Amino acid sequence: MTSLTDDAAIALDNLADRAANLVNPTLRLGVTGLSRAGKTVFISSLVHNLLHGGRLPLFEPIRSGRVSATRLEEQPDDAVPRFQYEDHIRALVRDRVWPDSTRAISELRLTIEYKSASGWNRMFSPGRLSIDIVDYPGEWLLDLPLLGQDFRRFSEATTELARTGIRAELARDWLDLCAAVDMDGPADEMVARQLATTFTAYLRACKADERSLSTLPPGRFLMPGDLEGSPALTFAPLVGMPETRPPKGSLRAMMERRYEAYKSVVVKPFFREHFARLDRQIVLVDALQAINRGPEAVQDLERALADVLACFRAGTNTLLSSFVRRRIDRVLVAATKADHLHHESHDRLQAITRRLVDRAIQTIGMSGAGIDVMAIASVRATREATVKRDGHDLPVIVGTPMEGEKVGSERFDGKRKTAVFPGDLPEDPQPFFRSLDEGAPHLDLPDLDIVRFRPPLIEETGGGITLSVPHIRLDRAMQFLFGDRLA
């Protein structure tokens, strides 16, 4: 995946990080997610609850009273945009709107001062840990497998996937155009642009809410930023490529060259400068949305998880790897939006997500060491209640649906609260996956009524400070990700 030059640069970066750690102990925490899973909300809630004394009973350093101070500090990487925590928490708390999703990489440094749990360590100096939170789009992570694929292999894999299920209809324009062009004819910029445009339209259609597909590389086609219109983003996979070398000056040669440029200009710098320097990682997934969308969305999420987990090389660091190419020794896959279900289904959502992760791990032949799964809600937008229906108690969730959301025939204005019975996930996930593997047109699941809610109404103190943002298992996630580093 990388050259000797890349490996040397990674080793130098790691050595520099380790040297800095001797003066200021630091943990680099990667935060990413797939298709609107809530990365920005997760970081904002985590930081806010640590800064303002939120309720975190499962986070041991807080529960035991060993944390003496938490503060934001200037981040160490001057070339990386700062994660604008203050803007995002204002949107959540004061405006009650969900902040914009991640479009590029950003970073924030949170420093925690604590008393060590060890009396021996406490004799020398108070503990201090800086957590550098690195926020990046999940689409960028799904680009990393491209480093191990040449253009022909990339084209074969992409076109093969595009011919399956609902993708076949969404990819029709691009596939028809591929079939009509002469790939070994003279390179034509207008043809290249047309191919890139129709291919990008296919990726966007796959990502749309009504489909919620997850495996969508190359990621920058969906969020081009300052590379929009550049040759590195003006290419597309080709259908039926021969094994021979492309003729000089041909369309195929142009596409192959631009694909390699994409890897060099976009993928390798992200891997070398950011991803290869991470210590811990959380991957947020909207498994509930995938389940609600049906078999193809679930299968695509499993495929994306396999690609994601293959990138991490999770496991314990050796002395050598910690200085040269360190491993990400803990990975948390978190199914978000648990507050959209009654608590009776939280463990069921976690069980289905764990099964997806286990199947993905089996597919890529990993051990699963250092990987955990949880169902969480970074910000809890609902509360639970019970209503009477036909003489029976029905467990419901209560919240304010976002403007335009529908429950049955009723459309909401974004101001009025309502009670929703979201449905139940199965206690045993086996029938669900059996239906999935057998290609059943409908998974063995009851109907789910998934409604998007506004952030909760949170009262502020007289000084305008909110002491706590409600959540579900955010403290448990924090304990797994960095609780041991505060021991």
183-239 pLDDT, tens digit per residue, is: 999 999 999 999 999 999 999 999 988 788 888 899 999 989 888 999 999 999 999
Whether residue 234 is found in the same domain as residue 285? no
Whether residue 17 is found in the same domain as residue 93? yes
Among 448, 449, 457, which residue's Cα sits nearest to residue 381?
457
Single residue among 212, 239, 268 that ends a domain in this structure: 268
Whether residue 257 is found in the same domain as residue 152? yes
Whether residue 264 is found in the same domain as residue 288? no
Least trusted range by pLDDT, from 208-212, 251-255, 443-447, 448-452: 443-447
Residue 346 is encoded by which pair of tokens? 């939280």
State mean pLDDT over 375-402. 91
Q: Where are the beta strands (DSSP E) in 259-355?
A: 280-285, 330-335
Residue 91 to residue 226: CA distance in whole angstroms: 26
**Is 446's pLDDT higher than 60?**
no
Q: How confident is the model at residue 314 (pLDDT cuts 50, 70, 90)?
A: low
Which helix (H) or strand (E) element contains residue 419?
strand 418-420
Whether residue 173 is found in the same domain as residue 112? no
pLDDT in tens, 265-313: 999 999 988 898 899 999 999 999 888 888 888 889 999 999 988 888 6
pLDDT in tens, 58-72: 999 999 999 999 999
Residue 111: Cβ within 10 Å count: 17
Residue 351: Cβ within 10 Å count: 21
Domain assignment present for 395: no
pLDDT in tens, 90-123: 999 889 999 988 788 999 999 999 998 776 565 5
Whether residue 299 is found in the same domain as residue 238? no
Whether residue 264 is found in the same domain as residue 309? no
Query: 213: domain range?
Result: 145-268
Residue 445 to residue 68: CA distance in whole angstroms: 47
Residue 210 is encoded by which pair of tokens? 């009504």
pLDDT in tens, 318-372: 544 544 556 788 999 999 999 999 998 999 999 999 999 999 999 888 777 789 9
Whether residue 178 is found in the same domain as residue 301? no
Domain assignment present for 235: yes
Domain assignment present for 451: no
Q: What is the pTM of this model?
A: 0.90
Q: Which residues contact 430 (CB under 8 A, 6 or more apart)?
A: none
Domain assignment present for 399: no
Sign of CA dihedral 273, 274, 275, 276: positive
Single residue among 268, 289, 320 that ends a domain in this structure: 268
Q: Which residue has the higher pLDDT, 125 or 408?
A: 408
- CATH number of the structural domain spanning residue 38: 3.40.50.300
- Identify residue 196 by its one-letter amino acid code: A
Domain assignment present for 32: yes
Residue 273 is encoded by which pair of tokens? 């400068």
Single residue among 229, 250, 268 that ends a domain in this structure: 268
For the chain, what percent of residues have pLDDT higher than 90? 62
Q: Where are the beta strands (DSSP E) in 60-142?
A: 67-73, 106-114, 127-135
Question: Per the structure, how many domains does the chain have?
Answer: 2
Whether residue 132 is found in the same domain as residue 183? no
Whether residue 199 is found in the same domain as residue 258? yes
Residue 382 is encoded by which pair of tokens? 């609902």
Which helix (H) or strand (E) element contains residue 293?
helix 287-293
